[in-house]
């Protein structure tokens, strides 16, 4: 018995010591994870306007909708979807700026496409399931990698190293034949140093809009090495999407009579019968490879080195009627004294690209100062080409002939240094200097068969500064200034626009917190020169067209709060009020240039309000009523009533129930999300166009206006269950 008692005692001591060691190691790994994002994120008390979302919050609504929809209830955020229900091509705007002006990084590596500057989360379906946390900085924010932030910057940290093993199986079903299935695992830390984790996902949905289907697949695999002062991660993730096109929108009459109608793929057969081509799809794959090394040298010094390679390739396919031979390099067909020079055909427009990036930074931190400096370099090479894969008539053509071919090469080098200095217990100051050097070269011809041979270099200096004042334990005030510059994108080059945009962003904020309530309030003034605003028009592939607006500004107030009303009952409201103006806006109308004075900037609602009512019952059962109001907005910059989108107010209902104390598994989490519970018929996006009519009245030119709309889903639901082992 004595030996048994000694053995049990030693085992208890050893187990306790091991447990303490694991906790300590876990905390060390957590701190090293924070080093990874230290160079681009800000602390809670920094003079930068921001919002954070962690894994726990994301899991409440992670049922297959894209990342923009996970951000829907943050201040100044507006989301929309081509298919109408948040799966497939989804978009977001922050402070009126579209996704091409929102800088997005994944583990510090730019995600925005280098040429289009857009962010296409459809290429990374179910990525939310591999996100540890994210931070949305509104305005210019702090220096980051990639194109400058003109509305916001979103930096995403993927899954942290888990010190314990786990596995999960998650399944979702929902409206419009929506299904999501994924499996996820981690080995935990093996032999005190190694972790392997991964995820496989598939999502299918028919979409709210007719035929706007999505077939999405993705993966995430991480191998990590950790010790007391080192964290090395090798990560690969990617996805493949096939979505039926829904970017054409519908006119006002169709919106009233058949709001789910989709004109994409429509054609008439030889008998004159209306048909829809079944492969009018976007088909694209994207793979990311990242190697990240975080090193802590002492209590004060640490560094991060990151390497990235991204490979993207894919096409969109279209059935086209009565296309001219000359647009595809076909030779006219002469037969029986007649000439055939038009044809029905199926074409594919391809994009293949490679993106290489390297990032290195070093951090020094003590009780008074926090300094980070670093360098970033990237190279992008993209090929654009078109193929005709079938034609009713195709004189002199061969299979896989390219009827257009172009390319783009972009190099970027960035150097930055930023510091926060604690003057005393009340005052701290922040400084941030960034130099950004961009070279962009294009060659070949565009899909419109127009030569695009350009080479431009841009040199930007982006200073930022701020100060925070801690009045007392409950109240903090801050102010900041940030400069951003941004180069045009490829489509701007096609429009003959080569001038860079400039933005000066001024922020003034107040944060107050008590035991039951916290409130963040900030004023912003964003002063633009040569802002590239959306004209409201779209091109033949649904991409928005931009134009230089000269001088413009955004002035607004944002408020967000977290209010604990009762135990288990919480309100999380936010509101944004703004005025967004083009100054002395000049446009062509009825055949002449007209100065319209100050006009409203496109897609910039003056009022955006969000709210979450959260009720928890015994911590196992949570209810949420989520509301979003978006005020009316213009789709163009000429204040035309034709271009106005009505305001809308929608509500979602969220339920999360966790079942524990069951055999075999740790828990089962049941999640339900009912979107648009009051069945509101609303439109969150559209387009506005004008053209000159010089035929109706001889000798006169009349500007004709029109609009298209992207209706969103009526009441719909998603139900999910996650089994955790």
Does residue 423 form part of some domain?
yes
- Rounded to whole angstroms, how far apart are CA atoms 176 and 170? 19
pLDDT of residue 655: 97
CB-based contacts of 272, cutoff 8 Å, min separation 6:
none
**For residue 174, is it within any domain?**
yes
pLDDT above 90: residue 317: yes
Cα separation of 505 and 486, whole Å? 14
Evaluate whether residue 189 is within a structural domain.
Answer: yes
Task: Kindly compute the dihedral angle of the four CA atoms of residues 75, 81, 84, 85, in this order, to the nearest 10 degrees.
Answer: -60
What pLDDT, on the 0 to 100 scale, is given for residue 36? 66
CB contact at 8 A, 401 and 395? no
**Parent domain of 437:** 34-724
Tell me whether strands 551-566 and 517-529 are parallel, antiparallel or unpaired: antiparallel
Q: How far is CA 140 from CA 48, 411, 432, 488, 623, in A?
A: 9, 22, 12, 17, 35
Confidence band (pLDDT; 50, 70, 90) for 30? low
554 in Cβ contact with 95 (< 8 Å):
yes
Q: Is residue 27 part of a domain?
A: no
At residue 366, φ and ψ (nearest 5 deg) are -140, -165
Which residue spans within 55-213 are E strands per DSSP? 77-81, 90-94, 102-106, 109-110, 131-138, 152-158, 166-174, 178-186, 194-205
CATH of the domain at 542: 2.40.170.20
* Residue predicted with more confidence, 613 or 29: 613
Among 384, 414, 456, 489, residue whose Cα is nearest residue 100: 489
Global pTM reads 0.92
Does 475 fall in a domain?
yes
Q: What angle do CA 204, 154, 213 make, to 5 degrees?
A: 15
Closest by Cα among 607, 602, 574, 601 to 49: 574
Q: What is the pLDDT of residues 118-139, one digit of tens each?
A: 999 999 999 999 999 999 999 9
**CB–CB of 280/317 below 8 Å?**
yes
| Cα 410 to Cα 431: distance, rounded to the nearest angstrom | 29
pLDDT tens sequence across 218-242: 999 999 999 989 999 999 999 999 9
CA separation (Å) from 428 to 51, 419, 470, 479, 510? Answer: 20, 10, 9, 11, 15
Q: 708 in the Ramachandran plot: left (φ > 0), alpha (ψ -120 to 50) or beta?
A: beta
Average pLDDT along the chain? 92
Q: Cβ of 108: how many Cβ atoms within 10 Å? A: 27
Phi, psi (5° rounding) for residue 41? -95, 170
Is the per-residue pLDDT at 100 higher than 80? yes
What pLDDT was estimated at residue 342?
93
Torsion 328-333-337-343 (CA) sign: negative
Number of domains in the chain: 1
Q: Out of 181-195, 219-233, 386-400, which region has the weakest mean confidence (pLDDT)? A: 386-400
Whether residue 660 is predicted with pLDDT greater than 70 in this model: the reply is yes
Q: 102-106 and 152-158 as β-strands: parallel, antiparallel, unpaired?
A: parallel
- Residue 535 is encoded by which pair of tokens? 């004209």
In a domain, 408, yes or no: yes
Strand 607-617 and strand 599-600: the pairing is unpaired
Q: What percent of the chain has pLDDT over 90?
A: 81
**Poorest-pLDDT segment among 136-140, 191-195, 240-244, 333-337:** 333-337
623 CB neighbour count, 10 Å cutoff? 17
The pLDDT-based confidence of 37 (bands split at 50, 70, 90) is low
Residue 388 within any structural domain of the chain:
yes
Examine the pLDDT at 7 and tell me if it is beyond 60: no
Q: Is the pLDDT of residue 310 over 60?
A: yes
Task: Return the closest-CA partner of residue 598 out of 587, 590, 589.
Answer: 587
* SS3 at position 676: coil
H or E stretch covering 295? strand 281-296
For 166, the token pair is 């786990």
């Amino acid at each position: 018995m004595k030996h048994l008692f000694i053995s049990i005692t030693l085992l208890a001591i050893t187990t306790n010591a091991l447990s303490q060691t694991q906790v300590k190691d876990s905390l060390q790994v957590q701190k090293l994870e924070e080093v990874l994002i230290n160079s681009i994120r800000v602390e809670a008390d920094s003079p930068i306007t921001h919002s954070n979302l962690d894994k726990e919050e994301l899991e409440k609504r992670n049922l297959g909708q894209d990342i923009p929809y996970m951000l829907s209830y943050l201040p100044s955020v507006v989301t929309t979807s081509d298919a109408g229900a948040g799966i497939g091509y989804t978009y977001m705007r922050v402070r009126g700026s579209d996704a091409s002006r929102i800088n997005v990084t994944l583990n510090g590596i730019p995600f925005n496409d280098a040429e289009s500057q857009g962010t296409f989360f459809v290429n990374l379906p179910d990525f939310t399931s591999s996100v540890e946390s994210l931070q949305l900085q509104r305005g210019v924010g702090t220096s980051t990698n990639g194109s400058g932030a003109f509305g916001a910057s979103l930096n995403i940290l993927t899954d942290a190293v888990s010190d314990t093993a786990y596995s999960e199986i998650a399944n979702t079903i929902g409206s419009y034949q929506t299904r999501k299935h994924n499996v996820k695992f981690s080995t935990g830390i093996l032999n005190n140093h190694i972790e392997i984790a991964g995820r496989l996902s598939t999502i299918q949905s028919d979409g709210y809009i007719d035929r706007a289907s999505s077939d999405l697949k993705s993966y995430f695999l991480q191998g990590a090495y950790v010790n007391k002062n080192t964290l090395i991660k090798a990560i690969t993730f990617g996805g493949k999407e096939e979505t039926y096109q829904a970017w054409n929108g519908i006119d006002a009459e169709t919106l009233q009579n058949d709001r789910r109608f989709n004109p994409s793929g429509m054609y008439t057969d030889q008998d004159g019968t209306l048909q829809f081509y079944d492969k009018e799809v976007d088909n694209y794959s994207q793979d990311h490879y990242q190697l990240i090394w975080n090193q802590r040298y002492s209590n004060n010094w640490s560094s991060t080195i990151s390497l990235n390679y991204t490979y993207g390739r894919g096409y969109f396919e279209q059935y086209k009627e009565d296309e001219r031979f000359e647009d595809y390099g076909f030779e006219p067909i002469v037969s029986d004294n007649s000439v055939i020079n038009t044809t029905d055909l199926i074409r594919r427009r391809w994009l293949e690209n490679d993106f290489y990036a390297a990032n290195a930074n070093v951090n020094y931190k003590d009780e008074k100062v926090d300094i980070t400096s670093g360098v970033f370099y990237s190279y992008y090479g993209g090929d654009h080409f078109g193929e005709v894969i079938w034609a009713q008539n195709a004189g002199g053509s061969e299979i896989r002939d390219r009827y257009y071919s172009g390319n783009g090469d972009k190099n970027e080098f960035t150097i930055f240094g930023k510091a926060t200095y604690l003057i005393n217990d009340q005052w701290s100051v922040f400084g941030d200097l960034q130099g950004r050097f961009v070279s962009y070269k294009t060659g070949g011809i565009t899909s419109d068969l127009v030569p695009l041979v350009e080479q431009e270099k841009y040199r930007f200096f982006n200073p930022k500064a701020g100060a925070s004042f801690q009045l007392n334990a409950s109240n903090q005030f801050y102010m900041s200034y940030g400069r951003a510059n941004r180069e045009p994108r490829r489509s701007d080059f096609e429009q003959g626009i080569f001038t860079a945009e400039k933005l000066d962003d001024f922020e003034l904020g107040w944060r107050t917190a008590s035991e039951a309530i916290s409130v963040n309030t900030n004023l912003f003034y964003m002063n633009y020169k040569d802002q590239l605003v959306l004209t409201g028009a779209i091109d033949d592939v649904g991409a928005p067209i931009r134009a230089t607006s000269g001088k413009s500004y955004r002035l607004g107030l944002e408020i967000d709060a977290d209010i604990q009303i009762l135990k288990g009952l919480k309100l999380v409201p936010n509101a944004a009020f703004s005025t967004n103006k083009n100054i002395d806006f000049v446009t062509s109308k009825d055949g002449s240039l007209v100065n319209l004075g100050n006009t409203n900037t496109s897609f910039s609602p003056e009022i955006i309000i969000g709210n979450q009512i959260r009720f928890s019952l015994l911590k196992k059962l949570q209810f949420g009523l989520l509301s979003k109001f978006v005020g009316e907005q213009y789709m163009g910059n000429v204040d035309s009533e034709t271009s106005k989108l009505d305001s809308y107010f929608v509500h979602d209902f969220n339920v999360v129930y966790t079942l524990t104390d069951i055999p075999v598994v740790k828990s089962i989490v049941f999640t339900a999300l009912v979107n648009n519970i009051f069945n509101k018929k609303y439109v969150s996006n559209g387009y506005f166009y004008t053209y000159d009519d010089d035929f109706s009245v001889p000798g006169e030119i009349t500007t004709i206006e029109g609009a298209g709309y992207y209706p969103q889903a009526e009441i719909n639901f998603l139900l999910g269950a996650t089994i955790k082992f």
